[in-house]
Each structure stands twice: as C-alpha cells, then as structure tokens.
C-alpha cells in the first residue's frame, strides 16, 4: 500500500502545488476538475473484491468495506447497491470494445468547442488560439467532424453541433462510443474510480497515467497555442499533422483496449 501511495504522491504533487499557489494548467487540471476525483481518494489503495485485509487497515472506515471475523473485506451489500452501475459500465465497455477504432476525427472536437466564438468566449481564455478565431473557424469549415463522444459533443458551440455527422446523446453511448476516441479512452479512469473499491487501484492508477498522456495529445492537437508550456502543436490542419495525430491515436487505442479488457475481467468475480 505504501508503494502505491508513493507512486500517486509523485503524480499528484505538481497539481497540489499549483492548487496551493492558485495557478491553473490547461492540460493537466483536466484530470482533477473534469473528472472530479479528489487526489486524496486517488491515493486510497483498494485491493479489489475477494481480498481479506488483516489487522486494522484504514479501509475499515471507508465506504464499501465491512469488518468480518477474518478481517476487512469489500462489503457484498455495497456490490449489490452498485449493480446497475456495474452492469451499465460493463455493457458500455463491451460495446466500445466490439467496434473497430476510428482514427479519422483528427481531434476536431476541441476546435468545434470554440467555433465562431469571439474574444472572451473560449474555454481556455488564458491561452491564444494558434490560428486566431477566423483561422480556427476555417479549419472547422474545411473538415467533416465525426465526434462520437457525448461528453465532448455537448461542449460544441451551437454553430458547430449541426456540423457533426453524429449526434450522440447520453442515452446513445453504447451505440456510438468507439475505441479510437481519445475521450472514451480517458474515461477508463472515470470508470475505475467511480467503481471503487470494486476495481483494484493498480488499474485505476494505470488508467490515470494513461489519461494524462492522452490529454497531452488532445491539447497538442487543439486550436490553442501551448508552446509556452512546452507543448509543440500537432498541426492537424496539415496532411503531416493528421498523420502524426492518427498514429498517436492508434497507439493509445491499442493500450486502452488492453486496459479495457482487464477492467472487464475485474468484473468477473463480482456476485452479480
């Protein structure tokens, strides 16, 4: 458990330092603000169901655990209370895994979120648009947008939504989500922490680290100029940039597919 906590501490230290000083980061804050999992909760080590913790572990005071004569274990009643969430998550992950990875979106979801906005209307106002407002709009208008992820699509501007060839909703996730999508793959982190303590923390931490790497790709391909933070842009408006983005996307799709499979395997021993 101590080794796990040390790994987490090293990963979250920069965020905690920025938080203490009131500084924002347009790339890495996402893992803490959008996903809204407290660093202290990420730091909690969960062995997963079926493991008996001897002695007086801190888990005995955490939600989802119960003390037995043999030790502290995941509470079977907690598993039952999470039945709908587990089954819904399993269906979504299985449906996503059943589809081929689509790698032709080129990260245009971030561009669609600022399409036809003016100064003061973009999400990361502290960072300039690399091509300016007009240039950004021209990129959107020159491409077909095919975003399959509802939680990205819902941030599109009103003018951008009709340009998306798909119109995903919260109720059609199982129909639309596909394993090449950066946001679907970052969401594996959300899957893990929402199901704690039913998912071993090693999977949660792996998903967190993967989401951090994917987020960097996401923002390097975005319309924002983040060179001041050390992020060189992937110029998806060019042929070379598209090729670079798609290659990185395929690599993340492969890594995420393996992790998705291991998360699905973690559901197997649950008494559902």
Using CA of residue 96, residue 99, residue 103, residue 109, what is the dihedral sign?
negative
Is the Cβ–Cβ distance between 64 and 40 less than 8 Å? no
Exposure b/e, 225-263, CB count within 10 A at least 16 = b = ebeeeebebbbbbeeebbebbbebbeebbebbbebbebb
pLDDT score, position 254: 98
Q: Which residues of the chain have pLDDT under 70?
A: 119-124, 272
The DSSP output letter for 56 is: -
pLDDT score, position 221: 98
> Whole-angstrom Cα distance, residue 188 to residue 190?
5
What tens digit of pLDDT does each residue of 94-123 get? Answer: 999 999 999 999 999 999 999 999 866 666
Q: How far apart are the first and last CA of the chain?
A: 28
Angle at 155 between CA 123 and CA 246, to 5 degrees: 90
Neighbours of 108 (CB within 10 A): 26
Is the Cβ–Cβ distance between 129 and 114 less than 8 Å? yes
pLDDT score, position 270: 83
What tens digit of pLDDT does each residue of 226-236 get? Answer: 999 999 999 99
Using CA of residue 197, residue 194, residue 1, residue 261, what is the dihedral sign?
positive
pTM assigned to the model: 0.95
Using CA of residue 153, residue 35, residue 96, residue 142, what is the dihedral sign?
positive
């Amino acid at each position: 458990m101590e080794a796990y906590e040390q790994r987490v501490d090293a990963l979250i230290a920069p965020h905690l330092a920025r938080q203490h000083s009131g500084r924002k980061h347009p790339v890495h804050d996402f893992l803490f603000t959008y996903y809204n999992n407290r660093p202290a909760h990420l730091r909690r080590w969960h062995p997963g169901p079926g493991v008996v913790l001897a002695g007086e572990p801190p888990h005995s005071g955490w939600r989802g655990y119960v003390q037995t004569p043999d030790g502290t274990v995941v509470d079977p009643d907690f598993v039952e209370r999470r039945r709908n969430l587990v089954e819904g998550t399993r269906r979504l992950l299985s449906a996503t895994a059943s589809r081929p990875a689509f790698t032709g979106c080129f990260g245009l979801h971030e561009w669609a979120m600022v399409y036809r906005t003016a100064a003061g209307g973009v999400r990361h106002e502290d960072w300039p648009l690399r091509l300016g407002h007009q240039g950004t709009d021209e990129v959107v208008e020159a491409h077909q947008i095919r975003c399959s992820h509802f939680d990205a699509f819902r941030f599109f501007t009103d003018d951008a939504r009709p340009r998306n060839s798909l119109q995903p909703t919260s109720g059609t996730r199982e129909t639309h989500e596909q394993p090449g999508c950066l946001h679907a793959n970052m969401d594996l982190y959300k899957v893990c922490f929402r199901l704690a303590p039913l998912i071993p923390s090693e999977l949660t931490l792996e998903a967190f680290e993967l989401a951090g790497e994917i987020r960097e790709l996401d923002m390097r391909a975005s319309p924002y100029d983040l060179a001041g933070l050390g992020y060189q842009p992937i110029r998806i408006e060019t042929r070379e940039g598209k090729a670079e983005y798609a290659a990185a996307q395929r690599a993340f799709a492969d890594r995420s597919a393996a992790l998705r499979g291991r998360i699905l395997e973690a559901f197997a021993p649950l008494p559902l």
